[in-house]
Amino acid sequence: MKKQMFGFAATLLLGANVLLPVFAQAESLNELDKKESAITRQSDKISGELQIALNDVNEKYQEVNEIRTKISQNEAILKKTKTDIAETEQKIEQRKLAIAERMKTAQVNSMTNRSITALLEAKDLGEFLDRAFAMSVIQNTEKTKVASLGEAKDKLTELKVTQEKTQVQLKKDSQSLEAETTKLDNKMANLKQELADNKTSLEKISQDKEVEKARQAAEKAQKAQAEKEAKAEKAAQAEKAAQAAAAKKTEEAAKVAAAQEKVQVASQAASQVSKPASSQQTTTSEQPKPAAEKPAEPSTPTTSGRTLQMESTAYSCAESVNTYFTAMGIDLRQNPQVVAVDPSVIPLGSMVEVSGYGIAIAGDTGGAIKGNIIDCHFSTVEECIQWGRRSVTVTVIS
């Protein structure tokens, strides 16, 4: 399992070393988002300008079409005017020929003399005037017809000139509008190209963002793997520390057991020495052996060593505020016979005998344990309450 983890870590580190130079110059996601936002805003602006240009082009094309329609209409009118002028000129020419033919006929047939004779043959002055007026009307009618035809020709000629001028102006306007339309078409083409370029830029930014996300994912995976390895290393160290602590506890427990055994041996030896001589002598059958009395709980030390008068309190690992392990690492669930002392008064690790409590090891400390105060451990809170606070004699055995 460790080999597999090592192989995976090596592969990940190798991949990171390969990818990091590639991504060294890569932009952050924040910078790419800013670029993408700016290009998007620019594209929106270009789209608005493109729509305006499109509307302008449509208007110009409409104006061009209207002018072309006017040009067509004007060409039709001009064509008709030219036809009318030709017809009028033809009529004038025909009228002139008719008048000339009539005058020629009058000269040949002596019409002037007949007209004069007709006037002279009038019966009276009134008939003479009537005949003269009739002849004048006939002549004026001919002249009026010729004159009206001339006026019609003049009007048609004037109309022709006007239409030709209009036609020239319409063509100029058409050319100007077509030039403007060409400019608008070019502008639209440029705007479309800008939009295409922006689209390409956005696609490039999208690709860069994907690459940056992949880089961040690789970096995150590398960090997670490093954290995992650190936790595994910490757990291994903690396991080693726990094993060392367990070994130390086992060693200390063995020392405590040996010390307790030594104390018990010493206590038994002391009790043997303190027996009266009479109890050691052989008794006869007539003198029965007295019944052994049960030793009372000692109130004074039964061992030799430095003796101190101290105030004693009690505590228990069963209380929620306490832990199972002492300052020396002794597990109170396995070795409950422990007292807490001030190390400046009684060194930690010393074997002590507390009157009323028994032999214990000085294996713990406490914030309130200062000077001549000793705190005795009990397995239950009820025992602590029964013990209370009392004065005791403490003998330091070792």
Mapped onto helix, strand or coil, the DSSP state of residue 329 is: coil
Rounded CA gap, 171 and 85, in Å?
24
> By the 8 A CB rule, do 188 and 48 touch?
no
> By the 8 A CB rule, do 330 and 293 touch?
no
Q: Dump strand ranges (E) for 322-381.
A: 338-340, 351-354, 358-364, 373-378
Q: What is the pTM of this model?
A: 0.34
Residue 77's CB is within 10 A of a number of other CB atoms, namely 16
- DSSP output for 116-127: HHHHHT-SSHHH
Cβ-based neighbours of 218, under 8 Å, separated by 6 or more: 15, 16, 19
> By the 8 A CB rule, do 356 and 300 touch?
no
Cα 86–Cα 90–Cα 94 angle in degrees, nearest 5: 170
- Helices 111-120, 29-108: axis angle to 10 degrees equals 70
Residues of the chain with CATH 2.40.40.10: 300-396
Rounded CA gap, 367 and 334, in Å?
24
- Residues 253-273, buried b or exposed e (16+ Cβ, 10 A)? eeebeebbeebeeebeeeeee
Q: How long a stretch of residues is the chain?
A: 398
CATH topology of domain 9-222: Helix Hairpins (1.10.287)
Could you identify the residue written with the tokens 């592969």?
Answer: 11
Residues of the chain with CATH 1.10.287.2610: 9-222
C-alpha atoms less than 13 angstroms from C-alpha of 300 in its C-beta half-sphere: 1
* Per-residue pLDDT tens listing for the chain (398 residues): 544 554 555 554 445 454 444 444 567 889 889 988 999 999 999 989 889 988 998 888 889 899 989 999 988 998 888 898 888 888 888 877 877 777 667 655 555 566 667 666 767 777 777 777 777 777 778 778 778 878 887 888 888 899 888 989 988 898 898 898 898 889 889 989 998 999 999 988 988 888 888 888 888 898 999 998 998 888 888 888 878 877 776 776 666 666 556 545 544 544 443 343 333 333 333 334 333 333 334 444 555 678 999 999 999 999 988 889 999 999 999 999 999 999 999 999 999 999 999 999 999 999 999 999 999 999 999 999 999 999 999 999 86
CATH class of 300-396: mainly beta
Rounded CA gap, 88 and 154, in Å?
10
The residue type found at 205 is I
